[in-house]
Amino acid sequence: MKTFFSEKHRLHFPQAELSGGEFVTPFERPSRAEYILNRLRERGFDAPVAPDEADRKPILELHDAGYVSFLETAWDEWKAAGFAGEIMPTAFPARRMQARCPDHIDGKVGYYALACETAMTAGTWEAALSSCASAQSAQKHVASGARAAFALCRPPGHHAAIDMYGGYCFINNAAVAAQMFIDGGAAHVAVLDIDFHHGNGTQDIFYDRGDVFFASLHGQPEDAFPYFLGYSDETGAGGGAGTTANYPMPPGTRYDVWSQALDDAIARTAKFGAEALVISLGVDAFKEDPISFFKLTCEDFTDCGRRIGTLGLPTVFCMEGGYAIEAVGINTVNVLEGFLGA
């Protein structure tokens, strides 16, 4: 399985994240990628390949043009306004307020942010674009006939909605890969999100579309970020009615329960007639993850990959979360090896 990866991810490294009422080193940090690369090397995977330049066309098919422009220019506007620190939102269009985009950058940030834990820096846009480029190159490799490819995306993407960033995500890499399969002629594509946190951005993008089936296994929104989406009764709307499947699960969920949800999502993917599959590969369902509450073991991730592999579909893996740093490489590669052994 070929891995696509850009060293430009290092350009995005905010020095602070708001967590538990204090500023901490972000859980989503460059060293995550290093642990994954080291494990790929240890397990005999080929050296990663740098992606081609990002194609903005599929990005703009899914994301609002004003939002993409904001991401590209936010840092320059922030500095021009005289702000010395990293970009963080200070106000949001809350209930009964106007949802109009302000002219001032401080207001724009709050308009486009869905949460305030995700800071932006001088290199964030270039890193996000290079992350999406990895997903795009992985998709093109699979569309050309490969069984599967791994896009080691950083920053991740599944929380990035049509016109909002947050949860460490700016461009929805998995959604872009799915869209490229559609643009290439596939009638039906599935996105399976196994990250602990709900893939709110992917759901937002495809919720009213009938050509993409989206399934997410995640911590129930009553207890887990992003809190305000991911209930089981969210099943799609309009032309997408029935093409969204949410599997919210409570604190302490173990693999015997989690895997039942996975099997149901796999069965529904097959019934949907998906011609290609995109996996939002988060491994923060791990029992020792610092910001999650499921109880999966390293061995469980191998079996998860095996079950996904039984679908026999052309598959693109896009890296998402996983914050137990010393285990993130083991768990990520376990999924890939389980898939290859299916």
Q: Dihedral angle at the C-alpha atoms of 194, 197, 199, 200, nearest 10 degrees?
A: 160
At 51, the amino acid letter reads: P
Residues marked as catalytic: 159
Structure tokens at 187: 């009638």
For every residue of 244-276, DSSP letters joined together read EEEEEE-TT--HHHHHHHHHHHHHHHHHHT-SE
Cα–Cα distance, 160 to 226 (Å, whole number): 11
Q: Which residue has the tokens 């724009």?
A: 108
Nearest of 78, 178, 58 to residue 119 by alpha carbon: 78
Q: Using an 8 Å Cβ cutoff, are 244 and 193 in contact?
A: no
Structure tokens at 9: 């991810």
| Residues facing residue 149 across a β-bridge | 2, 316
In this structure, the number of other CB atoms found within 10 A of the CB of residue 240 comes to 19
DSSP state of 169: B
Nearest of 224, 250, 221, 225 to residue 233 by alpha carbon: 221
Cα–Cα distance, 30 to 168 (Å, whole number): 12
Residue 251 half-sphere exposure, CB side, CA atoms within 13 Å? 7
Cα–Cα distance, 76 to 309 (Å, whole number): 44
Parallel, antiparallel, or unpaired: how do β-strands 148-151 and 244-249 relate?
Answer: unpaired
Cα–Cα distance, 287 to 236 (Å, whole number): 31
Structure tokens at 338: 């389980």
